[in-house]
Amino acid sequence: MKFTKMHGLGNDYIYLDCTQSMPEDPAGLARRLSDRHFGIGGDGLICLCLSARGDFKMRIFNADGSEGEMCGNGIRCLGKYVYDRGLTSRTTLQIETLAGIRQVRLHLDQGRVTGATVDMGKPAVGRPRTVFVLGRQCTGVPVSMGNPHFVVEVEEPGKLDLKLLGPELERLPCFPEGINAEFIRVIASGLLEMRVWERGSGETLACGTGACAAAAAMMAAGRMDRAVRVRLPGGELEVEWSLSDGHMYMTGPTVTVYDGQFAD
């Protein structure tokens, strides 16, 4: 089975060309391949599929096998995947996801894709709510970017024990579908720092939908400008909330690590 390992700011995925057929058990395959000791290693599996609604379709399976609605870093890399392999000559793509159609505009350097800007759609920012985690109050802002997020402002994200806190927050009964949790600190009106616990994958070095959710929460509260940088452990993303159409636009790099073949 041929695959490609790619990442956006260290948020790494295993890509399969499934335009001919899907694996019989993509969830189980995602669990096996994502294992960093006995598999390829990654935050999940992304399948390239044909689409009747867009240029291509993206299906995302997290490291635990659960299927995700959308992945900002993953969809940027999917754009690079199809362009660099000659599957399309277009630099603006319509990609179908479980969260809807997302437009991806590719950035090229000497004929190869080095990054992309994604139309992430309109964020839905809720009212702050307080939940109880490990016996303590935790107040955050629920935001939907086509998938669910909970944005929590803290003094020092780097000092949090996310391995302890993340799983407890992800599985709270008040979040029946699970939750992606962002722990953020506003550094300036145009810059915020963030760590993320991704539903089904654990802590990752970057999360595109999470960066947009965090920025949207702070922008809606009047805490930040409409165009900001989001600093993650894996690097920085640029996020803009457009006044003209109400959509959020995310820009970041795309990297192919290697192509390989997995022996079953």
Nearest to 224 by CA among 250, 185, 197, 195: 185
Please report where in the chains the tokens 């999360």 appear, as a residue: 207
Helical residues (DSSP H) of the chain, grouped into ranges: 26-34, 72-84, 162-170, 208-220
Contacts (Cβ under 8 Å, ≥6 apart) of 248:
119, 120, 121, 122, 123, 145, 212, 215, 216, 239, 240, 241, 242
Q: Are 52 and 186 in contact (CB under 8 A)?
A: no
Q: Which residues are annotated as catalytic?
A: 71, 207
d(CA 180, CA 218): 17
Q: In the chain, what are the helix, strand and coil shares in percent, each to the nearest 5?
A: 20, 45, 35
